[in-house]
Amino acid sequence: MSHIFNIDESRVLFNYITNMRHYRKPEPNIIGGGSYVDEKGFGHELFNFQNEAGKCYGYTAPYGTVNLRKLSRNIASDSLGRYVDNVLVVFMAQRDDGKRVVVGFYKNARVYEKLVNDKRKSRWLEQVNEYIGYNAVCDAEDAVLIDYDDRNKIIERATSKQGGYGQSNLWYASAEKDVPIKRDIIDYVIEFLAGSHNDERKYHTYLEGKAKVTTSSQRVRSREARLECIRIHGCRCKICGFNFKETYGVLGADFIEVHHITSLGELSTLDSYEGTNPGKDLIPVCPNCHSMLHRRKIPYNPDEIREAIREARRASRG
pLDDT tens digits for the chain (318 residues)? 444 456 888 899 999 999 999 998 888 888 887 888 878 888 889 999 999 888 999 998 666 689 999 999 999 999 999 999 999 999 999 998 999 999 999 999 999 999 998 988 888 888 888 899 999 999 988 898 888 888 889 998 888 888 888 888 899 998 899 999 999 999 888 877 765 545 654 544 333 333 456 665 555 556 778 888 999 999 999 999 999 999 999 999 999 999 988 765 454 444 454 567 888 889 999 999 999 998 887 889 999 999 999 999 999 886
pLDDT in tens, 136-151: 999 988 898 888 888 8
- Answer for the pair 236, 243: CB distance below 8 angstroms, yes or no: yes
Q: Which of 189, 159, 2, 210 is nearest to 91 (CA)?
A: 189
How far does Cα 311 stand from its chain's mean position?
41
Give residue 4's pLDDT: 43
d(CA 136, CA 115): 9
pTM above 0.75, yes or no: no
Looking at residue 160, its pLDDT comes to 81
Map out the domains of the chain as residue ranges: 2-197, 217-317
Per-residue exposure over 17-36, b if at least 16 CB sit within 10 Å of its own CB, e if not: bbbbeebbeeeeebebbeee
- For residues 139 and 110, the answer to whether their CB atoms sit within 8 Å is no
Amino acid 227: pLDDT: 87
d(CA 142, CA 145): 10
**pLDDT at position 66, please?**
94
pLDDT for res 218: 57
The answer to whether 136 touches 111, Cβ cutoff 8 Å, is yes
pLDDT at 161: 82
Cα distance between residue 179 and residue 163, in whole Å: 8
